[in-house]
């Protein structure tokens, strides 16, 4: 991408709608109420043949203190300083306000290049406001409608010449984490190209989720070494699911910060519902999910639901207890955490549990090691030969039941996918295999093949249904039986 474009302006002028228009997806949350966007969100923008990084920013507020609005403004000013081009958006229907004039003066001092856009200018209602925008002294205002896509050709006409003067690195595109199907050779040997290992071209996708005020944004800021995300004592500051690409102790990662997830019954505000949905979407993009707990009130019902959701989505899970620096009796608390973890989250048996302090940065080395271990297990492959030797030992030590006197036989096993590991067992009477026996096999896989914490998918298939010669064999046996029957009926000497 050739440049970075930051969209700025006062609240509720349509910045996020324009951002979604330029990236071609509904990534940013959009609502009629002002102040929905609080953090900086980056996306891959495209307009004609132009490719660029587009940044959606919080609405510029006339606040200089340490209030939430003041911190939002400082974050937006930082985007202005770092961007190659600023797209200053005003509301053509509301006309130019005193706040617009104030921020236009700031942009004249701080921005490298400024493009003025009068949004909501469709029809005749925005004509007067678009003409007023000339008074801002930022050149000819572009009349656009982010909602309806009008004026994008004019925006291209202005951006194209500026693209020759600026140049920025192209960020790696966000790709959703997917299962990896194994070929027959990979399944037999358990070996394949290790292209899953994190690299600059394909960073590890890491999502941090948890209840409000658990310290998710503070933790990510400490990991990347800068105040990139908005933080503060107020609960629920983060609304959008924001991704940041950085190196975590030498490992390339794309880290998703998510909105705090409260109990569904307590979520009544429309914007909060959108924020939670955006966070759940980030989990589906992730490879490893860090469930962040507040050590003072760990493993509440909502924490358990969040961890269970990450497991059900097939993501590798790491549980981190934050604010460890505030705990006095650390050995007793750690034993209590581990006991509750094993009791309340048996589906994540063996998953890493680490303690961290997002404020001081202590424990980040343990978190880094746990994330890499969970990612490696999530991508692990086991050869078919090893699996079938293991299956034979498991069935000999604890044979499957024989419901109705019909013995269940487990004949063959192979791994068909990774991310997470998935296995197929060919067996007889698969509809009669009890859940307890399935859990017995899954727990055995975890223990014997070192698969702690990662979700394991185990499927049973009727061996006869996959036998392409079964119908032919039945036909031959039936014809043979018919021939014998005719021979018995044939008169002697005839």
* 323: its two tokens: 């604010």
Q: Pick 149 or 270 by higher pLDDT.
A: 149
pLDDT of 363? 95
Q: Is 324 marked as binding a ligand?
A: yes
The span from the CA of 241 to the CA of 278, in Å, is 6
Q: Is 217 marked as binding a ligand?
A: yes
Q: Is 20 marked as binding a ligand?
A: no
Contact present, 85 and 112 (Cβ < 8 Å): yes
pLDDT for 127 beyond 70? yes
Q: Is 384 marked as binding a ligand?
A: no
Q: Which residues contact 420 (CB under 8 A, 6 or more apart)?
A: 179, 314, 315, 316, 378, 454, 455, 456, 457
The span from the CA of 148 to the CA of 446, in Å, is 53
- Between CA 455 and CA 378, with CA 414 as vertex, the angle to 5 degrees is 25
Q: Is 56 marked as binding a ligand?
A: yes
Q: Is 263 marked as binding a ligand?
A: no
Q: Is 12 marked as binding a ligand?
A: yes
Tens-place pLDDT, residues 144-159: 998 888 999 999 999 8
pLDDT for 166 beyond 60? no
Q: Is 201 marked as binding a ligand?
A: no
- pLDDT bin (cut points 50, 70, 90) of residue 223 is very high
Q: Is 121 marked as binding a ligand?
A: yes
Q: Is 80 marked as binding a ligand?
A: no
Q: Is 57 marked as binding a ligand?
A: yes
pLDDT of 373? 94
Q: Which residues contact 345 (CB under 8 A, 6 or more apart)?
A: 299, 304, 307, 308, 319, 351
Q: Is 216 marked as binding a ligand?
A: yes
Q: Is 261 marked as binding a ligand?
A: yes
Tens-place pLDDT, residues 329-362: 999 999 999 999 999 998 888 899 999 999 999 9
pLDDT for 169 beyond 70? no
Q: Is 464 marked as binding a ligand?
A: no
Q: Is 77 marked as binding a ligand?
A: no
pLDDT of 16? 85
Q: Is 70 marked as binding a ligand?
A: no
pLDDT for 427 beyond 90? yes
Q: Is 192 marked as binding a ligand?
A: no
Q: Pick 78 or 34 by higher pLDDT.
A: 78
pLDDT for 172 beyond 90? no
pLDDT of 330? 92
* Phi, psi angle pair for 474, to nearest 5°: -65, -40
Contact present, 14 and 91 (Cβ < 8 Å): yes
Q: Is 259 marked as binding a ligand?
A: yes
pLDDT of 332? 93
Tens-place pLDDT, residues 276-289: 666 677 788 889 99
Buried b (16+ CB within 10 A) or exposed e, 446-468: beebebebbbbeeebeebeeeee
Q: Is 258 marked as binding a ligand?
A: yes
pLDDT of 283? 84
**HEC states along the chain?**
CCCEEEEECCCCCCHHHHHHHHHCCCCCCCCCCCCCCCCCEEEEEEECCEEEEEEECCCCCCCCCCCHHHHHHHHHHHHHHHCCEEEEEEECCCCCCHHHHHHHHHHHHHCCCEEEEEECCCCCCCHHHHHHHHHHCCCCCEECECCCCECHHHHHHHHHHHCCCCCCCCCCCCCCCCCEECCHHHHHHCCCCCCCCCCCCCCEEEEEEECCCCCHHHHHHHHHCCCCCCCCCCCCCCCCCEEEEEEECCEEEEEEECCCCCCHHHCCCHHHHHHHHHHHHHHHHCCEEEEEEECCCCCCHHHHHHHHHHHHCCCEEEEEEECHHHCCCHHHHHHHHHHHHHHHCHHHCCCCEEECCCCCCCCHHHHHHHHHHHHHHHCCCCCHHHHHHHHHHHHHHCCCCCHHHCCCCEEEEEEEEECCCEEEEEECCHHHCCHHHHHHHHHHHHHHCCCCCCCCEEEEEEHHHHCCCHHHHHHHHHHHHHHHHHHHHCCCCC
Ranges 99-103, 248-252, 307-311, most confident:
248-252
Q: Is 122 marked as binding a ligand?
A: yes
Q: Is 60 marked as binding a ligand?
A: yes
Where is average pLDDT lowest: 5-9, 186-190, 456-460?
186-190
Q: Is 323 marked as binding a ligand?
A: yes
Q: Is 454 marked as binding a ligand?
A: no
Tens-place pLDDT, residues 398-408: 999 888 778 89
pLDDT of 130? 85
pLDDT for 171 beyond 50? no
Which residue, among 52, 45, 56, has the nearest Cα to 16 in the 3D structure? 56
- Between CA 403 and CA 410, with CA 409 as vertex, the angle to 5 degrees is 125
Q: Which single residue is written with the structure tokens 């606040």?
A: 63
Sorted by where each starts, the structural domains of the chain and their CATH numbers stand as 4-169 (3.40.50.300), 193-379 (3.40.50.300), 384-476 (3.30.300.20)
The span from the CA of 100 to the CA of 107, in Å, is 10
The span from the CA of 407 to the CA of 305, in Å, is 38
**In angstroms, what is the C-alpha Rg of the chain?**
30
Where is average pLDDT lowest: 161-170, 265-274, 370-379?
265-274
Q: What is the mean pLDDT of the chain?
A: 80
Q: Is 213 marked as binding a ligand?
A: yes
Tens-place pLDDT, residues 451-471: 988 899 999 998 765 554 455
pLDDT of 243? 76
Q: Is 448 marked as binding a ligand?
A: no
Q: Is 140 marked as binding a ligand?
A: no
Of the chain, the percentage scoring pLDDT greater than 90 comes to: 35
pLDDT of 55? 84
Q: Which single residue is written with the structure tokens 């939430």?
A: 68
pLDDT for 320 beyond 90? yes
């Amino acid at each position: 991408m050739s440049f970075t474009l930051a969209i700025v302006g006062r609240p509720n002028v349509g910045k996020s709608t324009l951002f979604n228009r330029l990236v071609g997806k509904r990534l940013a949350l959009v609502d009629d109420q002002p102040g929905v966007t609080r953090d900086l969100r980056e996306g891959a923008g495209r307009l004609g043949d132009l490719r660029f990084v587009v940044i959606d920013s919080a609405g510029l507020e006339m606040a200089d203190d340490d209030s939430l609005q003041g911190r939002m403004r400082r974050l937006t000013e930082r985007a202005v300083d770092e961007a190659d081009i600023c797209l200053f958006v005003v509301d053509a229907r509301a006309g130019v306000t005193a706040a617009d004039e104030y921020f236009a003066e700031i942009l004249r001092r701080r921005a490298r290049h400024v493009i003025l856009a009068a949004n909501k200018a469709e029809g005749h209602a925005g004509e007067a406001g678009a003409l007023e925008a000339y008074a801002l002294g930022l050149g000819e205002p572009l009349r656009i409608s982010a909602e309806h896509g009008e004026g994008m050709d004019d925006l291209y006409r202005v951006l194209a010449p500026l693209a020759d003067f600026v140049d920025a690195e192209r960020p790696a595109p966000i790709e959703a984490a997917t299962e990896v199907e194994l070929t027959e050779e990979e399944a037999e040997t358990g070996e394949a190209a290790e292209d899953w290992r994190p690299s600059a071209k394909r960073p590890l996708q890491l999502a941090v989720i948890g209840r409000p005020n658990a310290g998710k944004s503070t933790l990510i800021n400490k990991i990347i070494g800068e105040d990139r995300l908005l933080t503060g004592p107020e609960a629920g500051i983060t609304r959008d699911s924001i991704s940041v690409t950085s190196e975590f102790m030498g490992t390339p990662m794309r880290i998703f910060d998510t909105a705090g997830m409260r109990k569904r019954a307590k979520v009544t505000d429309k914007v909060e519902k959108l924020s939670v949905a955006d966070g759940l979407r980030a989990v589906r993009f992730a490879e490893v999910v860090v469930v962040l707990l507040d050590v003072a009130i760990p493993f509440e019902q909502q924490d358990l639901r969040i961890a269970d959701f990450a497991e059900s989505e097939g993501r590798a899970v790491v549980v981190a207890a934050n604010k460890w620096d505030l705990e006095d009796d650390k050995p007793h608390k750690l034993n209590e955490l581990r006991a509750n973890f094993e009791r309340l989250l048996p589906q994540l048996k063996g998953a890493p549990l680490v303690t961290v302090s997002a404020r001081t940065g202590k424990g980040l080395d343990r978190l880094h090691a746990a994330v890499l271990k969970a990612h490696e297990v999530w991508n692990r492959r086991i050869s078919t030969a090893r699996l079938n030797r293991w299956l034979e030992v498991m069935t000999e030590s604890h044979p499957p039941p024989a419901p109705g006197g019909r013995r269940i036989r487990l004949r063959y096993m192979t791994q068909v996918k990774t991310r997470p590991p998935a296995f197929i067992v060919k067996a007889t009477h698969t509809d009669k295999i009890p859940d307890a026996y399935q859990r017995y096999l899954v727990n055995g896989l975890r223990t014997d093949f070192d698969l702690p914490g990662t979700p394991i998918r185990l499927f049973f298939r009727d061996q006869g249904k996959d036998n392409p010669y079964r119908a032919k064999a039945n036909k031959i046996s039936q014809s043979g039986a018919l021939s014998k029957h005719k021979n018995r009926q044939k008169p002697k000497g005839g």
